[in-house]
Structure 1
Amino acid sequence: MFSRFGDTLAVTDPDSSLTYSQLADRAGAVSAWVAGHGSDEERTRVGIHATNSTDYVAAYAGVLLAGAVPFLVDSSFGPFELSRIAEDCSLDLLIHAPDTAVTSLTEEPLSHDGELGALVASRLRGHAASRLPLLATTEVCRFTSGSTGRPNCIEFSGRAVHAAAANWAKGTALGAEDRIACLAALSNGLAFNTSLLAAFLTGASLHLSRGLPTASRVVKLLERTEATRLVAFPALYESMVRRGSGAGFETVGAAISSGAPLRESVREEFTRLTGVPIHNYYGVAEAGPLTFAADGPGVGLGTPLPGVQLLADENGIRVRSESMGSRYLNAAGVFEARVDSRGYYHTGDQGRLQADGLHLTGRTGRMVNVGGRKIDPIEVTEVLREAPGVVDVVVFEYENRHGEPTLAAVVSAGPGASAQDLRKHCAQVLPPFKVPSILHLTDRIPANSIGKPSVPRLRRLLDDAHSN
């Protein structure tokens, strides 16, 4: 696929760039390296745990080319969640950044002669648990928050991954002339579905950032690459609006937002400042990209993309797509239970279909969506309950002072407990995005008439605390 676009620019990061021919060569070198270190008995399972870079793209493509299965792990996951994934999914190898703490997981570091670029690799220790078999059609695995507190591993067939990219390209008129500035992690569905394979199917170029995507860093990326598309989470557009300037967006024709609700006032102000329309996009990890608001204006999430059928009724939003995952490798029967007899997947979202497309109205489940990442409050609650002095905990979604959804925890604790100590306790176990941004200590958790925690009263408690 890569070599047919020759010397056209394929992918860049702040330190390097690859043409399509160079990317093909790099992927071939990674493929040979994986083949030399992989399993002889079955397909090698290779975790990729790194931030966005040209090396990441070459590693992903090379693992596929080797006939191995890449497992795309969120780079914010620390040793605790990495160990869960390695055990649940029986990973053989891990390609990762040099500073990743993997000593407790690895059997040995593996050498290479530059095939992995600045990344390194380790062979992972075997686990006593039996190795769960992959489906024969599985070519890529990605992760989503699990109902048990462990990340669920979604198996995708090659056909589903290709359909996600091809239908996105067709439904959004992505072409070879496009230059995509992507500010989302490639392991996340927003980037994976809109920017990774979709760019390379069409001969477009993909431009990656590194580090915290501040407003000034984003502008530098846009100016350096002359990007025609910007792919980012709502928090970035909030940041650009607070910056108060539209400079640097002269080449951008469209901005794409997904992962969390984008306030209409932010969208309007961003377009006023930059002249660039923000197009909403709706997708779920298990089913791929689902809708796109091609016209930009309006508060809807758009109409279904090619290959997508969507229902929205009293039972919530259900979807059937050509990019659907196959199952969860490490949660038997859970995925299947969410698919009805007609093949529609229950997303857990509630909404309605209107003239300008899909509108979300809430959740049928308990997951909290913060910055595009789904967080299970029960997982965070269980971690906090293990902290010294904690009596009771309630974790829930709360809007911060900017009106953005954030994760909040109200904790009833004995003398000596502090919010700082509780945050440190969470950080030792959870990745940063799962550590509550708001953590409030109280003598007693307010309850309703039947003794359950009263979330409305908890919200008022936080409102009062923040107004003082």
Structure 2
Amino acid sequence: MANYLDGILDHAARRPDAPALSLPERTLSRAEFAASLAGVSAGLAERGVPVGGVVAVAVRDQPACLRAILGTMLGGRVALPLDPVAVPADLDRLLARAGGGVILSDGRAALPPGWPVIALAELPAAADPVAVRHAGGDHWAQIVASSGTTGPSKAAPASHAQMLQRTRVLEPLLGLGPDDRYLPVIDLAYALGRHSAVRMLDIGGAVVIRPLPARVPEFLALLRGERITYLTLTPSHVRTLLDGMAGEPEPALPAMRALSVSGSALPLADRLDVRRRLSPALHINYGSNEMGFATHAGPPELDRAPGCVGRAMPGIRVEVVDDAGMAVATGTMGEVRVAGAQMSDAYLGGDASGHRGGWFHPGDTGWLDGDGLLHLAGRTDDRINFGGNKVYPFEVEAVLRTHPAVADCAVFGVPSRQHQEVVAAAVVLSAAATPAELRAHCRAWLARSKAPAIFLQLDQLPRNPTGKVLVRELRAQLAGHVH
């Protein structure tokens, strides 16, 4: 049965001297990197951690974090990467839901008391990767906690077979190969950054880890100087780059072969700016921790439908359904659901919420166009019920973003005694604008019921580390604000 890391071991055997991990002080070859992962597996075995046992990884150093997580999985143990910003109480609850385990630590994170801790530095630096490799298949490889943008986080396990499918189904769509180089911008404790690194290693390319400059010009110079051809960003990263690249040539990254943007929806205006100012090789992916990526849009799809998130990946079914669970007509708004072998069946503890009849409901609304391309409209729980009329935040946000004073925005519903909910908007302004002016701008393009009744001005929107707006925090700021 295939192990998630078999591609890494295969390249180590066939191309042992090729670069795998480029660090500021040295470069690890494919053989050296595989051996370093095996050292983690061997050390866990020496300390009595059983195959199938859960290993929570609390390692902040990026190369060490990647080594700890992958080394755990190589030996058949289940990696549970811990959120770098989580507090000990959250980690304690997560470990309890996982049924216990040990914590692999570099001593830099605050840990919950009462759990056995193994120091990463005390594990062997290297071992034989073939000798420690354990069969994968349907055995769990990892457990990943969701971001919890609208409620408490949930933890979804995935098997080696599922992880391999999630990794390899995207590889031919990106068109990358052994000569490509990936630089992580997203912390490798998070699936979005880590899975791109594994994808690069699986096809024989190199992962380049460098300190990230604070200023955009220096960051772009780093990408060019290190010959980075694969990059994964969140929409908030994209906005930072676009805002800070004045004076850069266009496109600023002509050698980029795949600039992948995932996470929350990237506004259409930013997509067009990315392809003109950064790189035409924009790829949009839609997915979640429970399913990996479900759809993909590369340059051909974005040429045809610039606002889409693409068509279903091979082996994945995507439908849009009404409230009764019936598929709706092309172009009709509804709830998105997906199915496929790479999808997790349930959350830890047997929680099957979102899993119904062999389908997973990510909680998003959208529609399919005539070419089978999916367009997202927002979250189902963000859909606003104004006196029985449905208001989708994305359409209000799209209009708000056309106002010259609005730099960023998020639209959501707040309780109303008279209307069930009313439309509220959190805005980040780049110039002065009153709520009345913003409301009038919306009413020029939208029905009056869709124009925000409440405006909340902020210096920045609250986001999680992968760029998703934390709507629950916005609602909390307006708690008790009932019309």
TM-score, normalised to structure 2, is: 0.68
- How far the C-alpha of 1:105 sits from its partner, in A, is 4.7
Query: Counterparts of 1:168 and 1:145 in 2: how far apart (Å)?
Result: 22
Q: Does 1:322 align with 2:322?
A: no
Alignment deviations for residues 15-34 of structure 1 (CA, whole Å, 9 cap, x no partner): 55322111111011111111
Equivalent residue letter for 1:447:
V
Match of 1:158 in 2: 160
Aligned position for 2:380: 364
Matched, 1:266 2:270: yes
Partner of 1:346: 361
- The residue aligned with 2:36 is 26
1:275 CA displacement: 4.0
Residue 391 of structure 1 corresponds to: none
Amino acid at match of 1:255: L
Contact 2:106 2:121 in 1 (8 A): no
Task: State the partner residue of 2:79.
Answer: 70
- CA distance in structure 2 between the partners assigned to 1:164 and 1:346 by the alignment: 18
* Pair 1:57 & 2:66 matched: yes
Task: Provide, for residues 88-120 of structure 1, a one-character-per-residue CA deviation record: whole Å limited to 9, x for no partner.
Answer: 224422223432112635455647446479xxx
Alignment-derived partner of residue 8 in structure 1 = 18
Q: How many equivalent pairs are there? A: 382
Taking the aligned partners of 1:113 and 1:446, their CA distance within structure 2 comes to 54
| Contact 1:228–1:254 (8 Å) recurs in 2 | yes
- State the percentage of identical aligned residues: 20
What is the aligned partner in structure 2 of residue 427 from structure 1? Answer: none
Q: 1:314/1:435 Cα in 2 relative to 1: closer, same or farther (>3 Å)? A: closer
Counterparts of 1:52 and 1:245, CA distance in 2: 34
Quote the residue 2:280 is aligned against. Answer: 276
Partner Cα separation in structure 1 for residue 149 and residue 344 of structure 2 = 17
Question: CA separation in 2, counterparts of 1:111 and 1:283?
Answer: 32
Q: In structure 2, how many angstroms separate the alpha carbons of the residues matched to 1:95 and 1:209? A: 23
Cα shift at 1:209: 4.8
Could you say if the C-alpha distance between residues 103 and 260 of structure 1 is closer, same or farther in structure 2, counting changes exceeding 3 Å?
closer
1:178 aligns with 2:180: yes
For 2:95, give the aligned amino acid: A
Does the aligned pair in 2 maintain the 1:142–1:187 contact within 8 Å? no
Cα distance in 1 for residues equivalent to 2:191 and 2:94: 18
Indicate conservation of the 8 Å contact 2:54/2:78, yes or no.
Answer: yes
The one of 310, 322, 325 equivalent to 2:318 is 310
| Structure 2 counterpart of 1:363, one-letter code | R
C-alpha displacement of 1:145: 4.3
Q: CA deviation at 1:292?
A: 1.2
Give the alignment's TM-score, normalised by structure 1: 0.70
Which amino acid in structure 2 is aligned with residue 300 of structure 1? C
Deviations 1:136-190 (A, max 9, x none): 7322111114699653221111110000011011232232222122312334343
Structure 1 letter corresponding to 2:162: A
Shift of 1:49: 2.5
Q: In 1, are the aligned partners of 2:91 and 2:112 still within 8 Å (CA)?
A: no
- Cα contact 1:10–1:19 (8 A) shared by 2: yes
> Structure 1's 434 and 281: CA in aligned 2 closer, same or farther, altered over 3 A?
closer
Cα distance in 2 for residues equivalent to 1:436 and 1:362: 15
Give the Cα–Cα distance (whole angstroms) in 2 for the partners of residues 108 and 165 of structure 1: 30
Q: Secondary structure at the match of 2:42?
A: helix
Return the offset for 1:440.
9.0
Aligned pairs (5 A) from 1:33-432: 33-40=43-50, 43-51=52-60, 53-102=62-111, 104-107=113-116, 110=119, 112-113=121-122, 115=124, 137-145=139-147, 150-193=152-195, 195-210=196-211, 215-216=216-217, 218-243=219-244, 244-246=246-248, 249-294=253-298, 295=300, 296-297=302-303, 298-315=306-323, 316-330=335-349, 332-335=350-353, 338-341=354-357, 343-354=358-369, 355=371, 357-365=373-381, 398-401=426-429
Distance 1:210 1:260 in 2: 25
| Root-mean-square deviation (Å) | 4.0
Tell me, what secondary structure is at the counterpart of 1:104?
Answer: coil
* C-alpha distance in structure 1 between counterparts of 2:365 and 2:430, whole Å: 24
Q: Which amino acid aligns with 2:174?
A: T
